[in-house]
Structure 1
Amino acid sequence: MVHFKNRYMVMEVFIDASRGEADPVILTQFNITKVIRDSIQLNFGECGLAASLGSLQLKYVNPLTKICIIRVSREDHQKVWAAITMVRNIGKIPVSFNLLDVSGEWIIVFDAL
């Protein structure tokens, strides 16, 4: 039996509401997953999206603290990290992502929170 090796990335989302619309975006699992998938497809193409789509999963989102935890395979975590770095907006609101921690275990991720 083969063990599936994961990487968990703890990301903080900075929302610049002063440069966007009057109504800031609410962070949801759907919003963040959509912009990550769109960024992977834009920067790495269909093949890059297909390779990372099987393991990409948003495990935790807190709209108050703007922290999210993303699970991805060990082989694709640098590609997903690069794609997340290139995300500039969610909807019409300018955002930026800050990587707080990368870990191979789910339990250790909560130490960064």
Structure 2
Amino acid sequence: MVRFKNRWLLVELIPAQNSGSQLPTPLDGQKIWAALRQSVLSNFGDVGWGSVASSMSVKYYSPTTNICIIRVARDHHRIAWGALTLLTGIEGSRYIPNVIHLSGTIKHAQLAAISHNREVVARYRAQAKTPSAYQDSYDEYLQTSSMEIEGLQD
């Protein structure tokens, strides 16, 4: 019996400044998956989509820190990564995808996501110039997001 092996991409979707002052479209896993599907189809064609279609899924997305975890088959993860890199917008809003981590197990993707969430929250706090002992809603967010991320199953 052969085991199905995956790769896990931890991606930060950075909202780019639009020419107008409109806010970026709120994202969810389905919108990210649809945009990634369209990017695979336009850049790699039907053959590229056929190779990643059955295995690609968005397992987690956080609107607060704009990170998502994407699962794809190990043999074709470069197609998904390439399509993600060539992705410029999601539903009319511009985003810059930044692949933070690539791992072979969901556990390492979870650890990288939790670590990245802490770094982003520290950046938010530094921008707000709050003292390190200050209690705010980010503490609660870090706890709930860590529990959500750790609860992901393969």
2:131 match: none
- Superposed CA offset, 1:46-88 (max 9, x none): 1110111010011101111100000000111011000000011
Retained in 1: the 8 A contact 2:8–2:103?
yes
Written as runs of structure 1 = structure 2, the 5 A alignment for 1:76-91 is: 76-91=76-91
Instruction: Give the 3-state SS of the residue equivalent to 2:75 in structure 1.
Output: coil
Matches of 2:83 and 2:108, distance apart in 1? 24
What is the RMSD of the two structures over their aligned residues, measured on CA atoms? 1.2
Write out the 4+ residue segments of structure 1 that deviate beyond 2 Å after TM superposition. Answer: 17-21
Matches of 1:107 and 1:20, distance apart in 2? 40
Name the count of aligned residue pairs: 113
Q: What amino acid maps onto 1:91 in structure 2?
A: E
Matches of 1:71 and 1:20, distance apart in 2? 34
Q: How far does residue 108 in structure 1 lie from its aligned partner after superposition?
A: 1.0
Matches of 1:38 and 1:58, distance apart in 2? 14
Structure with more contact order per residue of length (Cα contacts < 8 Å, sep ≥ 6): 1
TM-score w.r.t. length of structure 2: 0.70
2:4 match: 4
1:31 match: 31
Distance 1:20 1:87, change over 3 A: farther
Which stretches in structure 1 are left out of the alignment for 5+ residues?
Answer: none
Q: How far does residue 23 in structure 1 lie from its aligned partner after superposition?
A: 3.3
Higher helix share: 2
Retained in 2: the 8 A contact 1:8–1:106?
yes
Written as runs of structure 1 = structure 2, the 5 A alignment for 1:1-113 is: 1-19=1-19, 22-113=22-113
Matches of 1:31 and 1:48, distance apart in 2? 19
TM-score w.r.t. length of structure 1: 0.94
* Identity in percent: 34
Retained in 1: the 8 A contact 2:39–2:84?
yes
